[in-house]
Structure 1
């Protein structure tokens, strides 16, 4: 039913909770977040990077000047279409921006604390 997500190795699309898309330099970064499973501290996520497609666009036909522009990868647009079908069925909630930022900040604190503990444990092994 979702051939492009299956191509990414996602065989149970019902576990997808949300996704984010951002641009880094000449790449688009897609991050897919899965529903948190019982006993997990953090929900799992996977990240995919897609190079942006470059194309030349005619800026001035009189002087034949071209400008190189980038656009989103075609495969990525197909994946996003499938992700939208999965995630759009949920009704959007009105979230207080301040509460969302605080929630994101608390999550970041947990991730950083966990990573620090992991690095310290690795140092102890040396």
Structure 2
């Protein structure tokens, strides 16, 4: 499934906690953080450097002047898309858990209210 992550050596995508991307000079630095317990031998994070793609862009067609620009490397863009899929999947799981817990608390209130109502009816008899 996550071919671009596998290409950079990330095989256990279930352990990914979060990631950051920042620019340092002429390179973008991707840092991937993993869930680790105390005493684990593996590192908590990994860094990957991607050189920025350099482009020469025409600024003004009338004067014919050009400007140098840099942008994120396509391979890094694909890796970030896969990391976003993983992050969204985890958010959806926690949202579902919160919804189920909320529904359970609501059901608990409804049942307690109904029990109190039935007990009051019994007292009147």
> Is TM more than 0.5 here?
yes
Instruction: Report the aligned-residue RMSD.
Output: 2.2
In the other structure, the counterpart of 1:33 is 33
Structure richer in helix, relative to its length: 2
- Deviation at 1:43? 6.2
2:75 is aligned to: 75
Specify the SS of the correspondent of 1:89: helix
Which deviations, in whole Å up to 9, do the C-alpha atoms of 1:3-60 show, x marking residues without a partner? 11111111111110000000001100000000022534x9610000000000011111
Alpha-carbon offset, residue 87 of structure 1: 1.1
> How far off its partner does 1:91 sit?
3.1
> 1:47 maps to what in 2?
47
Ranges in structure 2 where 5+ consecutive residues have no aligned partner: 95-125
SS at match of 1:91: helix
Aligned residue pairs: how many?
A: 93
Describe the shift of the 1:24–1:78 C-alpha distance in structure 2 as closer, same or farther (beyond 3 A).
same
In 1, Cα distance between the equivalents of 2:53 and 2:43? 31
Residue 90 of structure 2: SS of its match in structure 1?
A: coil
Alpha-carbon displacement from aligned partner over 1:65-113 (angstroms, at most 9, x marks no partner)? 00000000000000000000111223399xxxxxxxxxxxxxxxxxxxx
Q: Distance in 2 between the 1:53 and 1:91 partners?
A: 32
Question: Which protein has the larger Cα radius of gyration, Structure 1 or Structure 2?
Answer: 2
Residues 1-126 of structure 1 aligned to structure 2 (within 5 Å): 1-40=1-40, 44-91=44-91
- The gaps in structure 1 that reach 5 residues or longer are 94-126
